[in-house]
Every structure is written in C-alpha cells, then in structure tokens.
C-alpha cells in the first residue's frame, strides 16, 4: 500500500513547532516529566503544574487542572470532528489537520513544550 505522510494535507504554512508537536504526539516521544525521568533527565515523573503522579501527554492534554480553560476551548473546537469517547488516541489518530491545528493552539496557549 502507498504510505502518505500525515502532513501532506497541510495546505497553509505552519510554524516549525506545529510539525514538531504533532510528530512528537504521534510518535509518543515527548519531553514530559514521565519521559525525562525515564531517561534520567528529571528527578521525578510528577506533573510540574499540579503535582499529579505522572506528567505525560495524556495528563497534560486531557486532565491537568492547570489547563482547564484552554482544554475547554480545544474540546469545543474538535468535539464534532473526533470519535467519542474522546481520548488522546482518537484525537491524534483522526488525521484531520483542523484537529491538529486546534491541538497546536492548545499547546501554544497553555505554554506546553513537548
């Protein structure tokens, strides 16, 4: 079968951070405390924002109370575009550039660096 890169449907110019963030989310390799702790670059896997036991992408995007406002705006934008129940796999796996734009906006607004 022909393999088509996820970014082929991106029509308008995007900042480098857009491609970096989405590629990291799709690969599962992000600079969260969980990952940094795993590679001995952080003393703890705990969330820097709320102290939750594990800071991973799912926690940051879906659960961390620090980002409730931006998350509500994200969910409003993508609610009708993503399969329910909505989770990180359905959000990232949908393949829609409009959803990726919304996720990138959420990360930027929340100042989350992946």
pLDDT digits (tens, 9 = 90+) for 70-106: 999 999 999 999 999 999 999 999 999 999 999 999 9
pLDDT digits (tens, 9 = 90+) for 25-44: 999 999 999 999 999 999 99
Cβ 82 vs Cβ 111: under 8 Å: no
Alpha carbon separation from 66 to 30, 59, 72, 84, 97 (Å, rounded)? 19, 11, 12, 24, 26
Cβ 63 vs Cβ 57: under 8 Å: no
pTM for the model: 0.91
The model's confidence at residue 6, banded by pLDDT at 50, 70 and 90, is confident
Phi and psi (nearest 5°) for 76? -60, -40
The model's confidence at residue 1, banded by pLDDT at 50, 70 and 90, is low
What distance lies between CA 16 and its chain's CA centroid?
15
CA distance linking residue 81 with residue 91, whole number of Å = 9
Cβ 30 vs Cβ 114: under 8 Å: yes
The model's confidence at residue 53, banded by pLDDT at 50, 70 and 90, is very high
The model's confidence at residue 48, banded by pLDDT at 50, 70 and 90, is very high
> Which pLDDT value is given to residue 4?
77
């Amino acid at each position: 079968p022909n393999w088509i890169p996820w970014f082929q449907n991106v029509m308008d110019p995007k900042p480098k951070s857009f491609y970096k963030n989405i590629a990291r989310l799709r690969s599962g390799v992000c600079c969260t405390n969980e990952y940094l702790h795993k590679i001995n670059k952080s003393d703890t896997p705990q969330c820097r924002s709320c102290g939750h036991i594990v800071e991973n992408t799912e926690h940051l995007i879906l659960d961390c109370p620090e980002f409730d406002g931006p998350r509500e705006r994200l969910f409003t934008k993508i609610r009708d575009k993503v399969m329910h129940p909505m989770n990180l796999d359905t959000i990232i796996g949908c393949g829609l550039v409009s959803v990726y734009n919304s996720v990138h906006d959420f990360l930027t607004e929340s100042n989350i660096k992946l």
